[in-house]
Protein backbone atom coordinates (compact mmCIF):
# COMPACT_ATOMS: atom_id res chain seq x y z
CA UNK A 1 0.00 0.00 0.00
CA UNK A 2 1.23 3.42 -0.85
CA UNK A 3 2.55 5.78 1.72
CA UNK A 4 2.64 8.68 -0.63
CA UNK A 5 2.47 12.21 0.63
CA UNK A 6 -0.63 13.97 -0.58
CA UNK A 7 -0.95 17.69 -0.94
CA UNK A 8 -4.39 19.27 -0.72
CA UNK A 9 -4.10 22.68 -2.36
CA UNK A 10 -6.97 25.13 -1.93
CA UNK A 11 -6.70 26.44 -5.45
CA UNK A 12 -4.88 26.00 -8.71
CA UNK A 13 -2.11 28.49 -8.07
CA UNK A 14 -1.28 26.79 -4.79
CA UNK A 15 -1.16 23.50 -6.68
CA UNK A 16 1.28 24.96 -9.19
CA UNK A 17 3.43 26.35 -6.42
CA UNK A 18 3.69 22.93 -4.80
CA UNK A 19 4.49 21.37 -8.16
CA UNK A 20 7.30 23.86 -8.74
CA UNK A 21 8.84 23.98 -5.32
CA UNK A 22 8.73 20.35 -4.32
CA UNK A 23 12.08 18.60 -4.28
CA UNK A 24 10.61 15.12 -4.52
CA UNK A 25 8.75 13.80 -7.51
CA UNK A 26 5.22 15.17 -7.38
CA UNK A 27 2.36 14.34 -9.72
CA UNK A 28 -1.12 15.75 -10.05
CA UNK A 29 -3.73 13.24 -8.89
CA UNK A 30 -6.57 13.09 -11.39
CA UNK A 31 -8.94 10.10 -11.46
CA UNK A 32 -6.59 8.08 -9.35
CA UNK A 33 -7.42 4.82 -11.06
CA UNK A 34 -3.80 4.07 -11.86
CA UNK A 35 -2.42 5.33 -8.57
CA UNK A 36 -3.58 2.42 -6.48
CA UNK A 37 -2.63 -0.04 -9.19
CA UNK A 38 1.03 0.65 -8.47
CA UNK A 39 1.11 1.11 -4.74
CA UNK A 40 4.87 0.88 -4.48
CA UNK A 41 5.58 3.89 -6.60
CA UNK A 42 7.33 6.55 -4.61
CA UNK A 43 5.65 9.70 -5.80
CA UNK A 44 3.84 12.41 -3.94
CA UNK A 45 0.55 13.64 -5.24
CA UNK A 46 -1.34 16.87 -5.55
CA UNK A 47 -5.07 16.31 -5.20
CA UNK A 48 -6.97 17.96 -8.02
CA UNK A 49 -10.37 16.87 -6.77
CA UNK A 50 -12.16 19.84 -5.21
CA UNK A 51 -10.52 22.50 -7.41
CA UNK A 52 -13.69 22.96 -9.46
CA UNK A 53 -12.11 21.50 -12.55
CA UNK A 54 -15.06 19.25 -13.35
CA UNK A 55 -17.48 20.98 -15.67
CA UNK A 56 -18.77 20.85 -19.21
CA UNK A 57 -19.62 24.19 -20.76
CA UNK A 58 -20.46 25.04 -24.27
CA UNK A 59 -21.08 28.37 -25.90
CA UNK A 60 -21.56 29.17 -29.56
CA UNK A 61 -17.94 28.62 -30.46
CA UNK A 62 -16.35 26.21 -28.09
CA UNK A 63 -16.90 23.21 -25.91
CA UNK A 64 -14.90 23.40 -22.70
CA UNK A 65 -14.35 20.26 -20.69
CA UNK A 66 -12.72 20.68 -17.32
CA UNK A 67 -9.78 18.33 -16.83
CA UNK A 68 -11.39 16.65 -13.81
CA UNK A 69 -14.63 15.89 -15.64
CA UNK A 70 -15.08 12.14 -15.52
CA UNK A 71 -15.55 10.02 -18.62
CA UNK A 72 -18.89 9.01 -17.13
CA UNK A 73 -20.02 12.63 -16.93
CA UNK A 74 -18.90 13.17 -20.49
CA UNK A 75 -20.81 10.12 -21.69
CA UNK A 76 -23.95 11.22 -19.89
CA UNK A 77 -23.82 14.86 -21.11
CA UNK A 78 -26.74 15.19 -23.54
CA UNK A 79 -24.80 16.88 -26.35
CA UNK A 80 -22.20 14.13 -26.42
CA UNK A 81 -24.76 12.04 -28.26
CA UNK A 82 -25.49 14.86 -30.70
CA UNK A 83 -22.40 16.81 -31.64
CA UNK A 84 -20.36 15.19 -34.38
CA UNK A 85 -23.05 12.58 -34.77
CA UNK A 86 -22.45 11.26 -31.25
CA UNK A 87 -18.70 10.83 -31.61
CA UNK A 88 -17.95 11.74 -28.03
CA UNK A 89 -20.54 9.46 -26.52
CA UNK A 90 -19.53 6.61 -28.79
CA UNK A 91 -15.89 7.05 -27.87
CA UNK A 92 -16.39 7.45 -24.12
CA UNK A 93 -18.41 4.25 -23.91
CA UNK A 94 -15.44 2.30 -25.27
CA UNK A 95 -13.36 3.41 -22.30
CA UNK A 96 -13.24 0.94 -19.39
CA UNK A 97 -16.50 0.10 -17.63
CA UNK A 98 -19.23 1.96 -15.75
CA UNK A 99 -17.59 2.20 -12.30
CA UNK A 100 -14.21 3.16 -13.77
CA UNK A 101 -15.76 5.75 -16.05
CA UNK A 102 -16.92 7.45 -12.88
CA UNK A 103 -13.30 7.90 -11.84
CA UNK A 104 -11.26 8.27 -15.02
CA UNK A 105 -10.98 11.96 -15.90
CA UNK A 106 -10.70 13.69 -19.24
CA UNK A 107 -7.38 15.16 -18.21
CA UNK A 108 -6.04 11.91 -16.87
CA UNK A 109 -7.09 10.10 -20.00
CA UNK A 110 -5.05 12.33 -22.25
CA UNK A 111 -2.01 12.98 -20.07
CA UNK A 112 -1.25 9.49 -18.82
CA UNK A 113 -1.71 7.66 -22.09
CA UNK A 114 -3.00 4.24 -21.15
CA UNK A 115 -4.45 1.50 -23.32
CA UNK A 116 -7.89 2.96 -22.68
CA UNK A 117 -7.03 6.55 -23.69
CA UNK A 118 -9.53 6.93 -26.47
CA UNK A 119 -10.14 10.60 -25.73
CA UNK A 120 -6.68 11.45 -27.08
CA UNK A 121 -7.73 10.11 -30.46
CA UNK A 122 -10.93 12.12 -30.44
CA UNK A 123 -9.05 15.33 -29.64
CA UNK A 124 -6.83 14.77 -32.66
CA UNK A 125 -9.94 14.40 -34.78
CA UNK A 126 -11.63 17.47 -33.37
CA UNK A 127 -8.56 19.73 -33.28
CA UNK A 128 -8.95 20.06 -29.55
CA UNK A 129 -6.78 22.40 -27.54
CA UNK A 130 -5.22 21.48 -24.23
CA UNK A 131 -5.24 24.37 -21.78
CA UNK A 132 -2.85 24.31 -18.86
CA UNK A 133 -2.56 26.13 -15.56
CA UNK A 134 0.65 27.87 -16.55
CA UNK A 135 -1.11 29.44 -19.51
CA UNK A 136 0.81 27.50 -22.14
CA UNK A 137 -1.72 25.87 -24.43
CA UNK A 138 -1.17 23.06 -26.89
CA UNK A 139 -2.92 21.85 -29.97
CA UNK A 140 -3.77 18.19 -29.90
CA UNK A 141 -1.17 17.59 -32.59
CA UNK A 142 1.53 19.18 -30.44
CA UNK A 143 0.38 17.49 -27.27
CA UNK A 144 0.43 13.99 -28.73
CA UNK A 145 3.59 14.34 -30.77
CA UNK A 146 5.49 12.84 -27.87
CA UNK A 147 4.53 11.39 -24.50
CA UNK A 148 2.31 14.16 -23.09
CA UNK A 149 3.95 13.87 -19.67
CA UNK A 150 7.26 14.94 -21.21
CA UNK A 151 5.61 17.81 -23.07
CA UNK A 152 3.66 18.97 -20.04
CA UNK A 153 6.50 19.10 -17.57
CA UNK A 154 5.69 20.63 -14.19
CA UNK A 155 2.28 21.81 -15.27
CA UNK A 156 -1.34 20.89 -14.83
CA UNK A 157 -3.92 20.47 -17.57
CA UNK A 158 -6.98 22.44 -16.55
CA UNK A 159 -9.28 22.03 -19.49
CA UNK A 160 -9.82 20.81 -22.99
CA UNK A 161 -11.31 23.18 -25.48
CA UNK A 162 -12.92 21.91 -28.66
CA UNK A 163 -14.08 24.25 -31.41
CA UNK A 164 -17.75 23.79 -32.27
CA UNK A 165 -17.73 25.26 -35.74
CA UNK A 166 -17.89 21.81 -37.31
CA UNK A 167 -20.15 20.06 -34.83
CA UNK A 168 -22.39 18.97 -37.68
CA UNK A 169 -19.65 16.93 -39.25
CA UNK A 170 -20.13 13.22 -38.92
CA UNK A 171 -17.90 11.44 -36.47
CA UNK A 172 -17.60 7.73 -35.79
CA UNK A 173 -15.52 5.73 -33.36
CA UNK A 174 -15.00 2.00 -33.31
CA UNK A 175 -13.10 -0.16 -30.86
CA UNK A 176 -11.93 -3.62 -31.86
CA UNK A 177 -11.21 -5.85 -28.91
CA UNK A 178 -11.52 -9.40 -27.62
CA UNK A 179 -14.43 -8.60 -25.33
CA UNK A 180 -16.64 -5.54 -25.20
CA UNK A 181 -15.01 -3.98 -22.13
CA UNK A 182 -11.48 -4.97 -23.11
CA UNK A 183 -8.67 -2.54 -23.94
CA UNK A 184 -8.67 -1.95 -27.70
CA UNK A 185 -6.60 -4.13 -29.92
CA UNK A 186 -7.07 -1.07 -31.99
CA UNK A 187 -9.61 1.74 -32.23
CA UNK A 188 -10.34 3.97 -35.18
CA UNK A 189 -12.11 7.26 -35.38
CA UNK A 190 -13.13 9.38 -38.32
CA UNK A 191 -14.64 12.81 -38.81
CA UNK A 192 -15.89 13.60 -42.27
CA UNK A 193 -18.09 15.63 -44.49
CA UNK A 194 -19.81 14.19 -47.53
CA UNK A 195 -20.14 16.05 -50.78
CA UNK A 196 -22.96 13.90 -51.97
CA UNK A 197 -24.14 10.46 -51.05
CA UNK A 198 -20.97 8.62 -51.84
CA UNK A 199 -18.24 11.20 -52.11
CA UNK A 200 -16.05 12.38 -49.30
CA UNK A 201 -15.39 16.09 -49.29
CA UNK A 202 -12.82 15.81 -46.56
CA UNK A 203 -12.05 13.40 -43.78
CA UNK A 204 -9.83 12.98 -40.78
CA UNK A 205 -8.69 9.52 -39.67
CA UNK A 206 -7.23 8.58 -36.32
CA UNK A 207 -6.25 5.32 -34.63
CA UNK A 208 -5.40 4.51 -31.03
CA UNK A 209 -4.06 1.29 -29.57
CA UNK A 210 -1.40 0.83 -32.25
CA UNK A 211 1.26 2.52 -30.17
CA UNK A 212 1.09 4.58 -27.02
CA UNK A 213 0.48 7.76 -28.99
CA UNK A 214 -2.66 8.24 -31.05
CA UNK A 215 -1.98 8.40 -34.78
CA UNK A 216 -3.43 10.44 -37.55
CA UNK A 217 -3.35 9.16 -41.12
CA UNK A 218 -2.71 12.34 -43.03
CA UNK A 219 -1.57 10.74 -46.27
CA UNK A 220 -4.62 8.53 -46.38
CA UNK A 221 -6.85 11.48 -45.59
CA UNK A 222 -5.44 13.34 -48.58
CA UNK A 223 -6.00 10.33 -50.73
CA UNK A 224 -9.69 10.33 -49.89
CA UNK A 225 -10.33 14.00 -50.36
CA UNK A 226 -13.07 14.56 -52.91
CA UNK A 227 -13.06 10.91 -53.82
CA UNK A 228 -16.01 8.69 -54.40
CA UNK A 229 -16.04 5.59 -52.24
CA UNK A 230 -15.74 2.86 -54.81
CA UNK A 231 -14.50 -0.64 -54.08
CA UNK A 232 -11.23 0.25 -55.73
CA UNK A 233 -10.70 3.35 -53.62
CA UNK A 234 -11.44 1.37 -50.49
CA UNK A 235 -8.83 -1.22 -51.51
CA UNK A 236 -6.27 1.53 -52.10
CA UNK A 237 -6.97 3.28 -48.87
CA UNK A 238 -6.66 0.05 -46.93
CA UNK A 239 -3.17 -0.30 -48.34
CA UNK A 240 -2.46 3.31 -47.57
CA UNK A 241 -3.54 2.89 -43.95
CA UNK A 242 -1.39 -0.18 -43.62
CA UNK A 243 1.60 1.68 -45.00
CA UNK A 244 1.12 4.72 -42.83
CA UNK A 245 0.46 2.94 -39.56
CA UNK A 246 3.17 2.66 -36.94
CA UNK A 247 2.48 -0.45 -34.87
CA UNK A 248 4.14 -1.42 -31.61
CA UNK A 249 4.29 -4.65 -29.66
CA UNK A 250 1.24 -6.13 -27.94
CA UNK A 251 1.32 -9.40 -26.02
CA UNK A 252 -2.16 -10.23 -27.27
CA UNK A 253 -1.74 -10.21 -31.04
CA UNK A 254 1.05 -9.86 -33.55
CA UNK A 255 1.65 -6.46 -35.17
CA UNK A 256 0.99 -8.04 -38.56
CA UNK A 257 -2.52 -8.87 -37.46
CA UNK A 258 -3.21 -5.29 -36.42
CA UNK A 259 -1.89 -4.08 -39.72
CA UNK A 260 -4.00 -6.62 -41.57
CA UNK A 261 -7.28 -5.55 -39.98
CA UNK A 262 -6.83 -1.77 -40.18
CA UNK A 263 -8.74 -1.70 -43.41
CA UNK A 264 -11.50 -3.88 -42.04
CA UNK A 265 -12.11 -1.66 -39.01
CA UNK A 266 -12.05 1.37 -41.22
CA UNK A 267 -14.67 -0.20 -43.47
CA UNK A 268 -16.90 -0.64 -40.43
CA UNK A 269 -17.08 3.09 -39.84
CA UNK A 270 -17.03 4.42 -43.36
CA UNK A 271 -20.21 6.07 -44.52
Name 175's bridge partners.
187
Q: How many residues bind other proteins (CB under 8 A)?
A: 44
Long-range pairs, 181-184, Cβ under 8 A, ≥24: 181/96, 181/97, 183/115, 183/116, 183/209, 184/94, 184/115, 184/116, 184/118, 184/208, 184/209
264 counts as binding other proteins under rule CB under 8 A: yes
11 counts as binding other proteins under rule CB under 8 A: no
47 counts as binding other proteins under rule CB under 8 A: yes
Q: End-to-end distance of the chain based on CA atoms, in angstroms?
A: 49
Site for other proteins in 226-255 (CB under 8 A): 251-254
Name the phi and psi angles at 101, rounded to 5: -65, -20
Which one of 17, 82, 154, 267 is in contact with other proteins (CB under 8 A)?
Answer: 267
Closest C-alpha among 57, 187, 214 to residue 123: 214
Cβ 118 vs Cβ 184: under 8 Å? yes
Name the phi and psi angles at 236, rounded to 5: -65, -40
Question: In the chain, how long is the greatest CA-to-CA distance?
Answer: 60
Cβ 87 vs Cβ 162: under 8 Å? no
Which one of 102, 137, 139, 202 is in contact with other proteins (CB under 8 A)?
Answer: 102
In the complex with other proteins, the residue whose CB is nearer, 85 or 100, is 100
- Please identify, among the stretches 31-39, 80-88, 206-214, 225-233, the one whose residues bind other proteins according to the rule CB under 8 A: 31-39
In the complex with other proteins, the residue whose CB is nearer, 142 or 260, is 260
33 counts as binding other proteins under rule CB under 8 A: yes
**Alpha helix positions (H), the chain:** 12-21, 71-76, 87-92, 98-101, 106-111, 118-126, 140-143, 148-152, 218-224, 231-244, 255-269
Cβ atoms within 10 A of the Cβ of 140, count?
24
29 counts as binding other proteins under rule CB under 8 A: yes
- Please identify, among the stretches 9-17, 204-212, 222-230, 259-267, the one whose residues bind other proteins according to the rule CB under 8 A: 259-267
Site for other proteins in 153-212 (CB under 8 A): 176, 178-183, 185
Q: CA of 9: how far to CAs of 12, 29, 107, in Å? A: 7, 11, 18
In the complex with other proteins, the residue whose CB is nearer, 140 or 220, is 220
Site for other proteins in 105-124 (CB under 8 A): none
14 counts as binding other proteins under rule CB under 8 A: no
In the complex with other proteins, the residue whose CB is nearer, 201 or 250, is 250
100 counts as binding other proteins under rule CB under 8 A: yes
In the complex with other proteins, the residue whose CB is nearer, 17 or 267, is 267
18 counts as binding other proteins under rule CB under 8 A: no
Site for other proteins in 58-77 (CB under 8 A): 72
Point out which residues bind other proteins (CB under 8 A): 1-4, 6, 8, 29, 32-33, 35-37, 39, 45, 47, 49, 72, 93, 96-100, 102-103, 176, 178-183, 185, 251-254, 257, 260-261, 263-265, 267
Amino acid sequence: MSNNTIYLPKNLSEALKILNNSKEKVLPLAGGTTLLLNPTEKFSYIELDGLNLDYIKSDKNNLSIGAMTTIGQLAAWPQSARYWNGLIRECTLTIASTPNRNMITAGGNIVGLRPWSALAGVLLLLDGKIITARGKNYTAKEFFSKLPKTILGKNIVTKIRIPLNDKDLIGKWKKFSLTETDYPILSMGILYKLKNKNTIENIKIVATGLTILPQRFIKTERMLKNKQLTDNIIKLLTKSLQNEAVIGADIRVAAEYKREILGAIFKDILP
